[in-house]
Structure formats: structure tokens, C-alpha cells
Structure 1
Amino acid sequence: LTAIRQGRIITFVETALFTRLVASYIEDDSYRALQVVLACDPAAGSVIPRSGGIRKIRWGAMGRGKRGGVRVVYFLKQASGVIWLLTIYAKNEVADIPPEALRRIREEIENE
């Protein structure tokens, strides 16, 4: 999906992991709504400490609301206006992702 924000084009890129998981957590309409929220406000999620700028946003999942919903981990590559959707998971399924692993992912994205 590509959107326009303040005259700039925002492009969404999914990792293979995100693409594989997203349909099992949120429906298409909810996914589009998430993309609209992120396109309008790329800083909507909280920065994960020591991750190098990777963010995590809470999102309601099929009948569970935000608190019991999912977490979407993403990174905004400012220079190119690309939001990388890295992974999605249910709050009760995964503990926090180690910041060092996220930092390495961000570095790979930055070098593309």
C-alpha cells in the first residue's frame, strides 16, 4: 500500500514473516485501518528502548480489543518514506523481542 502524508508518499513494505502472520491475527479491514493510522502518524507506536528507533503499536485483534489484541512491530525509514512492517504477535504469545535483535534488523533495512 502507498499513501500520501503531508505531500510525501508513504510506502508499506512487509517482511516475509509479517506477510505470513498478519492474516491469522487481523482481518483485511483492520489491517487497512492500521495502515491508515500509520500513514497519518508514523510515530503512533512507542519506540522500543535500545532498538534503534523500531516501534511497537497495540492493535485490536478479532474481537479482543487493544489490550488483549496484537502488537505490530515496525520501522519508519525516514529518508525514503517507507514503513517496514516487521512482525505481528499476540500480547499473550510473545515476551518482548530482544532490542539487540531489533537493532540488527534496523541496520539491515537502513543499508538497503
Structure 2
Amino acid sequence: MSDSEREAAVIWIAENPEAGTSLGGGLRKVRIPREGGGKSGGFRTIYVFGGRHMPIFLVTVFAKNEKANLSPKEQAAAVELSKEIVSMWSEKQ
């Protein structure tokens, strides 16, 4: 992912935090197009969105041609991480 692609992804997610698919516990997955490649040749971006009262946390980004998806074990660990992040931020409010 180039610097400009990363910057565009961060801006897009910030403007569309509820986009993509919920994986549970505030964890979300969205496809981000690659420059010149469209969504089918893009990136899977996994992030935590616990609501507008807290920041969005980028968990991981991977090219779809390198990895199709998170494994069930990786997804379960990421959901638990997301729940912990959301809980910590909710306690601060």
C-alpha cells in the first residue's frame, strides 16, 4: 500500500466509519480499492469503530491477492481486541 493509498483509506474510513461488514464487537471489514485496480484488486482493511465518541483504530490491512481473509482464529482474536478497546474508551466517558 502506497502512502497516498494509505492516506486515502484513512480519510475514507473516517468519513464512512459504518461502511463495510461488521465482524462483531466494533470490528469492521471494508474493501478499499487499489490505485488503478478497483475493489477487486484492492485491500481488505480491518478497523475498530465503537461509535462516534471514540477514535477509529486501524487493526490491519492486507492486499486481497496476498490473503483472502482473516483466519477464524485471527478474526476471533481481533474481535476480542476490538471489544477491549471499545470497553476501555467507554469507561473513559
Unmatched runs of 5 consecutive residues or more in structure 2: 89-93
- TM-score for both structures, normalised by structure 1: 0.62
1:42 and 2:17 aligned: yes
- The one-letter amino acid paired with 2:18 is A
Q: For 1:60-79, what aligned pairs fall within 5 Å after superposition?
A: 60-78=33-51
Q: 1:84 aligns with which of 54, 57, 73?
A: 57
Q: Pick 1 or 2: higher relative contact order, CA cutoff 8 A, min separation 6.
A: 1
- TM-score for both structures, normalised by structure 2: 0.73
Contact 1:54–1:75 under 8 Å retained in 2: yes
Q: Which runs of 4+ in 1 moved over 6 A?
A: none
Distance in 1 between residues matched to 2:5 and 2:41, nearest whole Å: 15
Which has more strand, going by share of residues? 1
Q: Over aligned residues, Cα RMSD in angstroms?
A: 2.0
The alignment of Structure 1 onto Structure 2 pairs a total of residues equal to 85
Unmatched runs of 5 consecutive residues or more in structure 1: 1-25
